[in-house]
Amino acid sequence: MEATVREKSTFALMVAVALIIIAVSLRVLPHPDNFAPITAIAIFGGAVLAFRYAIWVPLLAMIVSDAIIGFHSLVLVTWGCYLLVALAAHRGLAKLSMLKVTTITISASLFFFLVTNLAVWAEGRLYARTWSGLVECYTLALPFFRNTLLGDVFYTAAIFSAYLAALYMGTRLARGRRTPKATSV
């Protein structure tokens, strides 16, 4: 079953701002390595928000949190990955289904792992720029990928569930207000 949830309202803007605040907070507070909400927020923002908000939510969350915890030499690579994830979600999740959200979440985790570790290897500071250096880079990154995947799945499920529950409750409340009961005198 698919559901259309893309918003172009004040509510969507409030959601975008709340997501940025939540992402920054969860990223700067102590957490297991790579168990962070940024990919989930990029997917959610891409699926639910208008295009202009969808691309800015993960970027602003990363810029603000990187300003707090420190920039690194590969920020443009990581920011670019999140931007592409948001764009893919915007394009692929105009109508939601559990299969689509799960597929894009796992794909985004794998994409981020492959691209960022390739960039670490290509930088040449930690690993030799050889085939064995590349294999070593990806091998040593596997424990981080586990946390990335677990965090992405956890946060994506939590964010979409909370949002859909809020929409459901909002719809129920709105229906209750639109049908005032007639009173007899």
170 inside domain: no
Mean pLDDT over residues 173-179, rounded?
68
Q: What is the CATH number of the domain that holds 98?
A: 1.10.1760
What pairs with residue 4 in β-bridges?
Answer: 95
* Amino acid identity for residue 159 in this structure: I
At how many degrees (to 10) do helices 38-48 and 10-28 cross?
170
145 inside domain: yes
Q: What angle do CA 29, 141, 43 make, to 5 degrees?
A: 55
Domain of residue 55, residue span: 3-162
56 inside domain: yes
From the list 61, 162, 2, 63, the residue with the least C-alpha distance to 53 is 61
Q: For the chain, what is the domain count? A: 1
173 inside domain: no
pLDDT in tens, 44-84: 999 988 888 888 888 988 999 999 999 999 999 999 999 99
168 inside domain: no
Q: Answer for the pair 127, 120: CB distance below 8 angstroms, yes or no.
A: yes
* Least confident segment among 34-38, 44-48, 50-54, 90-94: 50-54
103 inside domain: yes
Position 100 scores a pLDDT of 96
76 inside domain: yes
pLDDT in tens, 122-163: 999 999 999 999 999 999 999 999 999 999 999 999 999 888
46 inside domain: yes
